[in-house]
Structures are given as structure tokens and as C-alpha cells.
């Protein structure tokens, strides 16, 4: 049995916001759109009017059955499954993504879509998560997530949405976020896995100076290591990339 409390079921109840979100994504009759968690269909009903095809994945059997009864258009593929379990290669290829995301899967679904080849996503996230996604060096919410998002995409908050526009009313406000994947990375990395591991290690002890942080994790000579007297929150993704390449050479 699925625990519905854990499905992030805060339904959007403002049609203007639904229309705006879809407008931001610039959907045309050439687009094949993935919708994650269609719920009661507030976005889905507009999407099927505009897109060539909509692939909507809903985990909740009751919501899925209701949608199946109410939306009879031929240009929708409705799937009753967990979007995290589905392999994107097993469904038709899509180029855009629109969703009011179930907040509890924000991180894994973001990582999953960033590994897929699409043109544009316009997604509703909890505001705090959206701020962590888009924070820049020196800002309070600059995090591992900000680095990952920056490395993989161009991402910005388009609009904040007060919580009263959802039912049941969630505890915090939301944001509409645009994600456009980068065609090429913003800087050169000798080894991506090493870079992301380094980023994780450094952000785990955000307040420590980089040199103290590095001593904990790597057996290296710190003499020629740049930024060692700074803290991770003070250096840009490009600088972390440079640090990563130097360390990678020393270690390998």
C-alpha cells in the first residue's frame, strides 16, 4: 500500500498559475511533453490542448483511474507508475518537461532528468529547494545542489507562488523554475565523479577552511593547493573545478 501522505499531494488550484507555467515552457504542437504527477489534471488539461503528445506519469492508482476516465484525448499516454522507477528509454522520447513536482522526490527526479537529453523544463519546487538550486557563490543557500545544477544547466526562478494556491495548503511557498540543459559543460574537468565527490566532501563541513577539510579526506601535499585558506562557500564552481583537477593529478 502506498502511503498517500508521502506523495506530496498538494494540488494546484489556481488556473492562471497553471496557464503561466505552461506559457513559460513555450509548448507548441511540435513538443512531446513529460508531465510528472498529473494529479487531478490541472496542468494536463492545458498541455493536451497545446502539445503534440503528453506523457503523464502518476503513481496514485485512484488519481490515474480518474484521469483515464476524464481525459479521453488521443495525444496523451497515461502511465500508472513511480517516475523514479521508470526507465526513460522505455517510454517515447520527450523534449520538454512540465510538472508541479511532488516535493519529496525533488532531488532524485532532478538528478534523473539532468541525465536525460531534453530542451527545457518548467517545474514547480518548494521555494527553499529552488533557492538552493539557483544560489551563487557567497549566498546563504550556495550548496552541492547549486554546483550540480550550474554544471549541468542554465537554471532560474521565474516566479514565487504563495502556498494558498495549493490544496491542501502546504507549510511553505513554492517557485516556478526553468531548467535548460547545457550543451557543453561550463568548465573542463579531468574527472566528473571526482569533482562531485570533492564537492560533497567540502560542503559536508562548510565552515571549515578548505585545507582542513582536505586533510580529512585526502593524503596530499597541500603546498601548491589553491584557495586552501578559503571556505567552500567562498569559491565559484569554476574554482572548485580547478581545485578538483589539481587534486586529481596529485592523487592519480
By CB under 6 A, residue 122 contacts ligand SAM: no
Stretch in the footprint of ligand SAM (CB under 6 A) among 79-87, 156-164, 191-199, 229-237: 79-87
Smallest separation, CB 125 to ligand SAM (Å): 10
Q: Is 149 exposed, middle or buried (0-12, 13-18, 19+ CB in 10 A)?
A: buried
Evaluated on CA atoms 62, 175, 96, 83, the torsion sign reads negative
Nearer to ligand SAM, 46 or 202 (CB): 46
Minimum Å distance from CB 9 to ligand SAM? 5
Residue nearest to ligand SAM (CB): 37
Restricted to residues 135-164, the positions that interact with ligand SAM (CB under 6 A) are: none
Asked if 84 touches ligand SAM (CB under 6 A), the answer is yes
Using the rule CB under 6 A, is 8 a contact of ligand SAM?
A: yes
161: burial class by Cβ within 10 Å (0-12, 13-18, 19+)? buried
- 173-189 per-residue burial string, b: 16 or more CB within 10 A, e: under 16: bbbbbbbebeeeeebeb
- Residue labelled with grid coordinates 579526506: 217
Residue 142 and residue 203: Cα distance in Å, rounded? 9
Stretch that binds ligand SAM, among 10-18, 112-120, 135-143, 156-164 (CB under 6 A): 10-18
Binding residues vs ligand SAM (CB under 6 A): 7-12, 36-40, 42-43, 57-60, 63, 82-84, 100, 102, 105
Amino acid at each position: 500500500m502506498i502511503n498517500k501522505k508521502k506523495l506530496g499531494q498538494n494540488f494546484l488550484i489556481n488556473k492562471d498559475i497553471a496557464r503561466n507555467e505552461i506559457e513559460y515552457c513555450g509548448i507548441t504542437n511540435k513538443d512531446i511533453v513529460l508531465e510528472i504527477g498529473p494529479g487531478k489534471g490541472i496542468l494536463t488539461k492545458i498541455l493536451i490542448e497545446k502539445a503534440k503528445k503528453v506523457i503523464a506519469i502518476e503513481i496514485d492508482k485512484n488519481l490515474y483511474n480518474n484521469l483515464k476516465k476524464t481525459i479521453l484525448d488521443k495525444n496523451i499516454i497515461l502511465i500508472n507508475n513511480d517516475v523514479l522507477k521508470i526507465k526513460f528509454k522505455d517510454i517515447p522520447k520527450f523534449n520538454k518537461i512540465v510538472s508541479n513536482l511532488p516535493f519529496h522526490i525533488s532531488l532524485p527526479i532532478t538528478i534523473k532528468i539532468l541525465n536525460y537529453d531534453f530542451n527545457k523544463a518548467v517545474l514547480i519546487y518548494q521555494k527553499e529547494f529552488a533557492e538552493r538550486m539557483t544560489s551563487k557563490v557567497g549566498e546563504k543557500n550556495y550548496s552541492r545542489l547549486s554546483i550540480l545544477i550550474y554544471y549541468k544547466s542554465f537554471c532560474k526562478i521565474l516566479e514565487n507562488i504563495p502556498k494558498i494556491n495549493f490544496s491542501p495548503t502546504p507549510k511553505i511557498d513554492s517557485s516556478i523554475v526553468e531548467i535548460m540543459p547545457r550543451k557543453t559543460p561550463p568548465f573542463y574537468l579531468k574527472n566528473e565523479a571526482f569533482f562531485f565527490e570533492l564537492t560533497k566532501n567540502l560542503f559536508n563541513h562548510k565552515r571549515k577552511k578548505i585545507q582542513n577539510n582536505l586533510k580529512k579526506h585526502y593524503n596530499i601535499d597541500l603546498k601548491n593547493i589553491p584557495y586552501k585558506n578559503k571556505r567552500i562557500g567562498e569559491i565559484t564552481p569554476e574554482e572548485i573545478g580547478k581545485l578538483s583537477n589539481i587534486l586529481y593529478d596529485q592523487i592519480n
